[in-house]
Amino acid sequence: MEASRKPLAKIEGKKRMRLNGLTVAWRGTPRLDDWVAYIVNGTKSKKLILADHASERKVKTLLAQIQTLSKKEVERLAKG
């Protein structure tokens, strides 16, 4: 008899930065390095990715750091 495994829980979130007016969304699985953070209301032709295949700690630290940056600085930090 084979035991069935419970699927891993995914976490999603969205936060609007007050100073630069950008909305950043993130999602991932706790204790795995599969987190991604991206700008939701960036340019329409491409999604601006802030972090990809990163740890939860790295994504949360990045979100704290970009709160004080301007919109242009955050878009320059992102990879398109």
Per-residue pLDDT of 9-21, as tens digits, reads 898 999 999 888 8
**Within a domain: 15:** yes
**Within a domain: 2:** no
H helix intervals, the chain: 56-65, 71-77
**Within a domain: 6:** no
- Residue-averaged pLDDT of the chain: 86
Owning domain of residue 17: 11-77
Local structure of 14: helix, strand or coil: strand
pLDDT of 37 strictly over 80:
yes
**Within a domain: 36:** yes
Local structure of 54: helix, strand or coil: strand
| Total tally of structural domains belonging to the chain | 1
pLDDT of 61 strictly over 90:
yes
**Within a domain: 5:** no
Q: What is the pLDDT of residue 41?
A: 76
Rounded to an integer, the average pLDDT of 22-49 is: 85
**Within a domain: 4:** no
Q: Pick the residue with more confidence: 64 or 7? A: 64
**Within a domain: 30:** yes
Q: How far apart are CA 46 and CA 64, in angstroms?
A: 24
